[in-house]
Amino acid sequence: MALLAPVPDPLLVIVLGPTGSGKTALALRLAGEFGGDILSCDAVAVYRGMELGTAKPTAAERAAAPHHLLDLVEPTESMTAGDWARAARQAAGAVAARGRLPIVSGGSGLYLRAFTEGLAPLPPRCPALRERLGRAARGRPPGYLHRLLRRLDGEAAARIHPGDEPKLIRALEVALLLPAPPGRGGRDPLRGFRLLRLGLDPPRAVLYERLNRRAAEMFRRGLVEEVRGLQAAYGADAQALGALGYKEAAAVLAGTLGERDAIGKVQQGHRNYAKRQMTWFRREPAVEWLAGFGDAPEIAGEAARLVATALDAGAGDVPRK
């Protein structure tokens, strides 16, 4: 009697890399070729109404392939890496259950790690400690909290913008209240999928040129007006409006920063962020690195070959005697 080999777990593709490296273009190419749904892994794209500064997929791109995990919460709400990971696991399971290929695409390293490996339980917020950290930051030169975090938890410092005070304070709170940084000590790794990690590693100088153009284009297309509308709807103190790009656009509205200087700050911020992302992603396991941009035909072709090979390797229901 012939037996059937166990059906292997479905494939899940992860497209990672620095901001501006063409992750969206590559994810769309793979989704079209292999019947996939795209799961956005972006810590700011989860907020409704924040379009230009997050470089969310356009309406045409969303029409080209089903997208998930965009516009989940209001800018006044919070979404932790754990919250996102739970939503992402549910979405990935639903996509696979429909016989489609889940493709996680994005550059938020901690969110991705929470999704694949789980995170150790974090301590609750401590108002007294948070207040002390805030007072310490106000009494010292800019960058104090980030320098302090680098000493306590270098990995956390690598993924947080030096000007993002709320995230810095939370990371310091965790580092001070836990005996060790949470890192990879998660208790609930992702199960039920075979993972294929595709990493984009374009030439840094060309990437920086792209990021400079993209930042200028965000302002040209109306980022300041987008922030004006968000402030009217949610208030100037909405947590999400402290994100890179939105903070600088808000300063233009407040008259404390000229638009040219704001663009320069955002360009520098994006370049710094890309560098931190690559530092983080270099620590990810089993990444198939592709030396170029995701919208380059040769890179997309190599990525498609890797996906096809992984799908073939997992073809189940093979008769076994």
Q: Tell me the average pLDDT across 235-261.
A: 95
CA dihedral 176, 87, 113, 209 (to 10 degrees): -100
User: Rounded CA gap, 40 and 27, in Å?
Assistant: 10
Upper half-sphere CA count for residue 75 (Cβ side, 13 Å): 23
User: Rounded CA gap, 38 and 118, in Å?
Assistant: 21
| Domain layout of the chain by residue ranges | 3-122+182-211+286-320
Pairing of strands 36-40, 67-68: parallel
Domain 3-122+182-211+286-320 -> CATH class: alpha beta
| pLDDT above 90: residue 318 | no
User: Rounded CA gap, 288 and 201, in Å?
Assistant: 10
Predicted pLDDT of residue 316: 46
Confidence of residue 252 (pLDDT cuts 50, 70, 90): very high
Q: Per-residue pLDDT tens for 72-104?
A: 999 999 888 889 999 999 999 999 999 999 999
Q: Per-residue pLDDT tens for 166-178?
A: 888 888 888 888 7
Confidence of residue 180 (pLDDT cuts 50, 70, 90): low
